[in-house]
């Protein structure tokens, strides 16, 4: 059985290229790897509201689930991002009904929104982190921030306007692009480049 690795919710960034899409970024608790997951606007709102500690006038779907579970003494013990298939992350909720643990399949965005409300841990596997994680080099990040990051400012000639045809780049070029995207905190771009690198492998 693959070792579980705990994740924290780092935040959500707005997509610059996909209307209504957001990048949910999960961070390895005891490491420097990040997993960007593209989510829809509703899911992003449900996560952001909880991260900001906001109270909507009427309960959202995830708030209703939380209240329902509490009313019937059902606990959410943990969330597991347990599978990555063709760029799609799959998750499970481990619940306790007072007598036994029950596992329920869930979309990852819903699972994260619920984990934040129940304040339960989020885990993934080392295999998924190795495949989908983006490594941030904290030692070099500060030294190079003033140089390479500037290449990816809006309007820069060195930044590819569209990353729709990544097949033109070598793996070495893609590795450089992904590092630059992470330093610029453009996790959506980094996610697309990561998927292309995985396809090559």
What are the domain boundaries of the chain? 4-132, 138-200
Query: What's the CATH fold of domain 4-132?
Result: Bifunctional nuclease domain (3.10.690)
In this prediction, residue 1 has a pLDDT band, given cuts at 50, 70 and 90, of low
- Give CA 18 to chain center in angstroms: 16
Q: What is the pTM of this model?
A: 0.71
CB contact at 8 A, 77 and 96: yes
CB contact at 8 A, 91 and 81: yes
Distance, CA of 46 to CA of 152 (rounded, Å): 30
For the chain, what is the mean pLDDT? 81
Tell me which range, 6-15, 97-106, 184-193, is most confidently predicted by mean pLDDT. 97-106
Q: Does residue 200 surpass a pLDDT of 70? A: yes
Mapped onto helix, strand or coil, the DSSP state of residue 11 is: strand
Least confident among 4-13, 85-94, 127-136: 127-136
Per-residue DSSP letter, 150: G
Q: Does residue 148 surpass a pLDDT of 90? A: no
| Average pLDDT of span 91-107 | 96
Which is nearest to 182 in space by CA: 13, 9, 45?
A: 13
């Amino acid at each position: 059985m693959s070792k579980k690795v705990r994740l924290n919710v780092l935040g959500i960034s707005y997509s610059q290229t996909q209307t209504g899409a957001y990048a949910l970024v999960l961070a390895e608790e005891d490491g420097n790897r990040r997993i960007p997951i593209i989510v829809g606007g509703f899911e992003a709102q449900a996560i952001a509201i909880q991260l900001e500690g906001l109270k909507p006038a009427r309960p959202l779907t995830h708030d209703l689930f939380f209240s329902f579970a509490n009313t019937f003494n059902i606990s959410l013990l943990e969330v597991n991002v347990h599978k990555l298939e063709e760029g799609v992350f799959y998750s499970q909720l481990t619940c306790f009904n007072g007598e036994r643990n029950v596992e329920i399949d869930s979309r990852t965005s819903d699972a994260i929104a619920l984990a934040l409300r129940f304040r339960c841990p989020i885990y993934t596997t080392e295999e998924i982190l190795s495949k989908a994680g983006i490594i941030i080099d904290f030692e070099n990040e500060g030294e190079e921030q003033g140089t390479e990051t500037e290449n990816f400012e809006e309007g820069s000639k060195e930044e590819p306007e569209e990353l729709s045809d990544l097949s033109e780049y070598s793996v070495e070029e893609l590795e450089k692009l992904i590092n630059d995207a992470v330093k610029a905190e453009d996790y959506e771009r980094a996610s697309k480049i990561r998927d292309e690198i995985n396809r090559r492998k």
